[in-house]
Amino acid sequence: MGRSLALFAIGLLVCGACAGEPEESPKPHEALPAAAVNPGDSGQQARAPSADSLRDDLVENGLLVPETHVAALSKLGHPDSVRSRPEQNRHNPSQTDSIIDLYYPGLHLEYHVVSEGGKELLTTAEVSDNRYLRYPELGIGASGSRIVSALGEPDERSGSKYEYQCARCLGYEAPLYFHLVDNVVKSLEYQFPLD
């Protein structure tokens, strides 16, 4: 645990020494493909191929955030809050890893840092600001019907939560949740597997 915290502290110091503005994020797509926005009136109940393609891209590449906490600090600047906590490694119980949470306005990122080898994985991203999304037109403020029109029916729907999975990612579960209030998207939650 001490090594992970030391690495985290070094990362904070390195990023604090960076001068200038954070790097500019990749630009979100200008607009959704026409077929995805308006899949047509084919009368088919199944998703149109463009909806599957858009859904998969949204699940896999819809976030405009770095994959490591050090890169996030460099790109997004200092967060409002940072939290680090120990967690037992599930493959090696004698090893203690770190969970690092970064809180920015409209964004919470959770990273799992493996103490042995330093491998780092983004495990959760909770987004409530469209500037972190590649497809902001399917983000905060979008209606539930707009989401279903563009992506097809959710893989699971539970009250005000829609869950979408990547269709082409067999054996890889990385759900994307749309949280709605009064049929309007209030936040998105990306979850990524550790293994």
Q: For the segment 72-101, what is each residue's pLDDT rounded down to a tens digit?
A: 999 999 999 999 999 998 888 899 999 999
d(CA 40, CA 44) in angstroms, rounded, equals: 9
Nearest to 139 by CA among 88, 108, 179, 84: 179
In a domain, 92, yes or no: yes
In a domain, 76, yes or no: yes
Amino acid letter, residue 166: C
In a domain, 31, yes or no: no
Per-residue pLDDT band at 32 (split at 50, 70, 90): low
In a domain, 98, yes or no: yes
In a domain, 158, yes or no: yes
In a domain, 29, yes or no: no
d(CA 142, CA 55) in angstroms, rounded, equals: 15
* pLDDT tens figures, 98-119: 999 999 999 999 999 998 888 8
Residues 6 or more apart whose CB falls under 8 angstroms from that of 157 comprise 163
Least confident segment among 12-16, 109-113, 126-130:
12-16
Per-residue pLDDT band at 159 (split at 50, 70, 90): confident
In a domain, 30, yes or no: no
The pLDDT, as a whole number, for residue 172 is 66
d(CA 188, CA 129) in angstroms, rounded, equals: 9
Element (H, E) at 127: strand 120-127
Q: Among 8-12, 35-39, 164-168, 175-179, which range has the highest average pLDDT?
A: 175-179
Over 60: is that where the pLDDT of 136 sits? yes
Report the number of distinct structural domains present in the chain.
1
Residues 6 or more apart whose CB falls under 8 angstroms from that of 187 comprise 126, 127, 128, 140, 179
Amino acid letter, residue 35: A
- Determine the number of helices (DSSP H) and then strands (DSSP E) in the chain: 5, 8
- Domain of residue 123, residue span: 2-24+36-191
DSSP string, 40-105: -----SSPPHHHHHHHHHHHHH-B-S-SSHHHHHHHH-S-SEEEEEEEE-SS-TT-EEEEEEEEET
Over 90: is that where the pLDDT of 166 sits? no
Q: Determine the average pLDDT of the residues in 151-175.
A: 87
In a domain, 93, yes or no: yes
